[in-house]
């Protein structure tokens, strides 16, 4: 890992499926003086559609385009080589919509850091992708900080798009490009189904997935607050004696993506969870900075713990 003195190369990641409008969106960004800021840019194109880049000003703007046609070429050694060849000060990636985000993270050099991830969406094909390639849609939505819907029709109801995005992430900003070219911000508020300002935040079984996602996206919101919820307690042999995991299996989009989502819990007395051990747990959230991941992570300091029956629906969902 890079040391604290080493500067990171910022990576701007543009996601979306074929013909979604990524190339046009990125071309406009590259020619925007405020965005370009005279930095030497490595442009990695992982998916070539019908529209091509206008490279006539690339030399003037110090933009160096390279094409990655096969996912096998998406590896740390090759990326470092491409950056070194042009002396890149930043990287822009037009990512292939059919490739999983994890493949990119496994390939990124240690001194590259994703600064922004934008998902470009063709509104005319989005519902079809969501229905038939849901796992790939969720994969991209989970990463996006901005979701930009283009090709919105006159008078079209945007609520179905809003609901799909918010079913996966509350973090991303949403914009809709209207037929006249205006970009309209989605300012619909989605209040959480529990009171984050309550003295004791009680999480109903049906709301656990929403709570967990919100906690992981904005952990500091819950700092020093007490929460109560039903959880599956699990002991990892590598944990200290008084530390165990509390969480639920969460399904984001389909059965294949079900995974145990947990936070570390610390208890003041010995506790050995049994297999499939459900508990009702209360405790205060402490937020710590994880230096390795570069993010704030929560830990639950347990104040009350009791055995509990399994919830009616053991796998938590967002719906």
Question: Do 154 and 119 share a structural domain?
Answer: yes
**pLDDT tens-digit readout, 27-82:** 999 988 777 777 899 999 999 888 899 999 999 999 999 999 999 999 999 999 99
Question: Do 312 and 259 share a structural domain?
Answer: yes
Question: Do 246 and 139 share a structural domain?
Answer: no
pLDDT for 256: 72
Q: Is 151 domain-assigned?
A: yes
Q: Identify the domain containing residue 109 by its residue range.
A: 9-185
Question: Do 148 and 46 share a structural domain?
Answer: yes
Token representation of residue 216? 């992981």
Q: Is 86 domain-assigned?
A: yes
Show the CA angle centred on residue 187, arms to residues 181 and 190, nearest 5°: 145
Question: Do 159 and 15 share a structural domain?
Answer: yes
Question: Do 142 and 105 share a structural domain?
Answer: yes
Question: Do 246 and 133 share a structural domain?
Answer: no
Question: Do 258 and 142 share a structural domain?
Answer: no
Q: What are phi and psi of 193, to 5 degrees?
A: -80, 15
Question: Do 256 and 155 share a structural domain?
Answer: no
- Phi/psi-derived region of residue 215, left when phi > 0, alpha when psi is between -120 and 50, beta in every other case: alpha
Question: Do 209 and 249 share a structural domain?
Answer: yes
Question: Do 53 and 151 share a structural domain?
Answer: yes
Token representation of residue 223? 């700092």
Strand, helix or coil for residue 64: strand
pLDDT tops 60 at residue 88: yes
pLDDT tops 60 at residue 304: yes
**pLDDT tens-digit readout, 270-300:** 888 999 999 999 999 999 887 656 678 899 9
pLDDT for 108: 95
Indicate which CATH number applies to the domain containing 153: 3.40.50.300
Q: Judge whether 209 and 192 are in contact, CB under 8 Å.
A: no
Q: How many domains does the chain have?
A: 2
Average pLDDT of the chain, as a whole number: 91
């Amino acid at each position: 890992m890079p040391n604290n003195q080493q500067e990171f190369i910022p990576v701007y990641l543009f996601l979306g499926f074929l013909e979604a409008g990524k190339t046009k969106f990125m071309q406009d960004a590259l020619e925007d003086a405020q965005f370009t800021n005279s930095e030497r840019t490595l442009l990695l194109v992982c998916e070539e559609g019908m529209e091509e880049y206008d490279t006539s000003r690339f030399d003037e703007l110090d933009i160096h385009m390279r094409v990655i046609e096969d996912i096998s070429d998406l590896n740390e050694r090759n990326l470092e080589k491409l950056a070194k060849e042009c002396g890149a000060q930043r990287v822009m990636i037009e990512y292939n919509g059919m490739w999983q985000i994890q493949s990119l993270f496994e390939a990124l050099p240690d001194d590259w850091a994703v600064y922004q991830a934008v998902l470009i969406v063709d509104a005319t094909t989005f519902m079809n992708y969501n229905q038939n390639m849901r796992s790939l849609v969720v994969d991209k939505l989970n990463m996006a900080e901005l979701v930009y819907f283009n090709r919105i029709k006159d008078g079209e109801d945007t609520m179905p798009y809003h609901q799909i995005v918010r079913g996966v992430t509350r973090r991303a900003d949403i914009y809709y490009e209207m037929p006249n070219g205006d970009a309209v911000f989605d300012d619909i508020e989605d209040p959480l189904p529990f009171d984050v300002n309550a003295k004791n935040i009680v999480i109903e079984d049906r709301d656990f997935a929403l709570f967990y996602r919100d906690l992981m996206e904005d952990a500091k919101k819950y700092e020093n607050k007490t929460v109560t919820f039903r959880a599956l307690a699990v002991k990892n042999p590598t944990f200290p004696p008084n530390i165990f995991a509390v969480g639920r299996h969460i399904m984001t989009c389909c059965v294949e993506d079900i995974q145990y989502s947990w936070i570390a819990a610390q208890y003041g007395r010995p506790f050995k969870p049994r297999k499939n051990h459900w508990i009702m747990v209360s405790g205060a959230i402490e937020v710590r900075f994880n230096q390795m991941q570069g993010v704030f992570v929560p830990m639950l300091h347990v104040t009350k713990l009791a055995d509990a029956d399994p919830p009616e629906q053991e796998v938590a969902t967002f719906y």
